[in-house]
Amino acid sequence: MLQNLTLILLFSLIFIFSSGKFVSSCTYKAVGDNVVIRLGDEKLPQDSHLIWTHDKRRVYSKKGSNVKNEGLIINHYGSLILENIQKSKSGEYKAEVYDKDGKLIKKTVEKICVLEPVPEPSVTVECVEEGVYLTCIPVNSNEVSVSWTKNGEKSNTTHAVLHVSWSELKSGDKFSCTLSNMFSEKTAKDVEPVCSNTGVHANEDENRKKEENSNNENKDDAKGINSHFCVFTLTTDENN
């Protein structure tokens, strides 16, 4: 029974690939790249009909000498050339070639994802009762990955917001985030969270003040003792 299911699954995958219905995941390109979506290595017959679509919208058609083109570059092999590609050109591109009798003789499909370089990130700090929230900005795309470091060591957190409790935070701790995609990576400047009214730093300040007050009190006590210390001199009468 298990072998039969395996065979059925295998034949299904073969059918998907051979039928041309399967579209692979994105081919990632950076903004400004030149992209060639190849149709083949042979020149197309003069009487063939070539159609290119972008996200199912026809953007090129050539049948004999009749050509309809929306500004695309097509070479003599029928391949599509996209120069200085921009994000608006992301999407699925499909080419179909028919012979003079209308029979499909060639086909290709490719999905292009165009990415911009990641922006320069920065880290904002929000002090709350239970700790601090560090936010890496700007993160405005699902195609951008986020990573954090604490004192130069990488953290497991991959979200734009990092929460650090007071028990985990020590004076002098520094945090930074990095934004990256398939083509670029940028790291924010280190940030040292300091909150004046709550948390570790406030506790340290309070302890320091207590210690200073205690020292001052000890000094005052010592002065008080000295001020109340009297020296008595005993004199005697030689005649007695």
If we measure between CA atoms, which residue out of 144, 182, 189, 205 comes closest to residue 30?
A: 182
Question: Whole-angstrom distance between the N-terminal and C-terminal Cα of the chain?
Answer: 132
Between 226 and 158, the higher pLDDT residue: 158
Q: Give the pLDDT mean for 62-85.
A: 95
What's this model's pTM, rounded to 2 decimal places? 0.63
DSSP 191: B
pLDDT at 228 over 60: no
Q: pLDDT value at position 211?
A: 58
* Residues facing residue 126 across a β-bridge: 133
Domains of the chain and CATH, by start: 21-115 (2.60.40.10), 122-194 (2.60.40.10)
